Amino acid sequence: MAIDVNALWCVVPAAGRGARFGGEIPKQYLPLAGRPLILHTLERLAAHPRVTGLVVVLAAQDRWWPQVGEINGKPVRTAVGGSERGDSVLAGLRALPDEIDETQFVLVHDAARPCLRYEDLGRLIAEGARSGGALLAAPLRDTLKRANGFNRSIETEAREARWRAFTPQMFRRGELMAALEAASARGVIVTDEAMAMELVGHKPMLIEGAEDNIKVTTPADLKLAEFLLEKTT
């Protein structure tokens, strides 16, 4: 089977409110090593020669987007997101250029993950094309506890075969749109693209990636991301 990853676009959902972070400025625009966090994320994606262009999905009332039209010579489009992450990703997929037909692969990557490694992105692209759909992830290494409503540990869950899902995730445009639309029609809120794909019967390939591909969620993560940005490529 021909692996068509010649025109590989990446949808970058950035329409979240970052409620867990707090503060007025959404976390994706906070300064990281002197520049808005999201620019680091976009640069890491655009640095890969297989990535052709980017669609950044913004909140309707976004006032902070730095209005970049291209990065590393690659076009940057924008779309307006929705109330859930899945709605935002769907909006981004609809905003892809017409020449990206439904059989072509697309990447989806959180704006809030600026420390993506070049090598992991390359492996995801290769393995995603080979397997028909894949995501970066890491096997769970800690013991997993179930808490009651008072933070008392009431049960220990098996950690075998449990993985933490990261982004980027890579799927065919048409299959991913159909899966996200199906989840939305069923009223299921999906927390990543792979979840939508699983719900309609796909089995995305888990590609082990570096655990320092963190999602900046709290103020402490910003400091860590700054450190990691300097140490990784």
Binding ligand C5P by CB under 6 A: which of 54, 57, 196, 206? Answer: 57
Tell which positions 11-50 bind ligand C5P, by CB under 6 A: 13-16, 28
Q: Does 112 bind ligand C5P (CB under 6 A)?
A: yes
Residue span 91-110 as binding mask against ligand C5P, x where in contact by CB under 6 A, dash where not: -------------------x
Return the number of the residue (124 or 190) whose C-beta is nearest ligand C5P.
Answer: 190
Contacts with ligand C5P by CB under 6 A: the residue count is 17
Q: Does 51 bind ligand C5P (CB under 6 A)?
A: no
Taking the CA atoms of the chain, what radius of gyration do you get in angstroms?
17
Strands of the sheet containing 205-208, edge to edge, are 70-71, 74-80, 51-58, 8-14, 105-108, 163-172, 134-139, 205-208
Closest residue to ligand C5P using C-beta atoms: 16
Taking a C-beta distance cutoff of 8 angstroms, is the pair 225, 216 a contact? yes
Binding range to ligand C5P, per CB under 6 A, among 9-17, 98-106, 179-187, 202-210: 9-17
Distance between CA 105 and CA 171 in Å, rounded?
A: 5
The sign of the CA dihedral 118, 123, 126, 129 is negative
Q: Does 77 bind ligand C5P (CB under 6 A)?
A: no
Footprint of ligand C5P (CB under 6 A): 13-16, 28, 57, 81-85, 88, 110-112, 215, 217
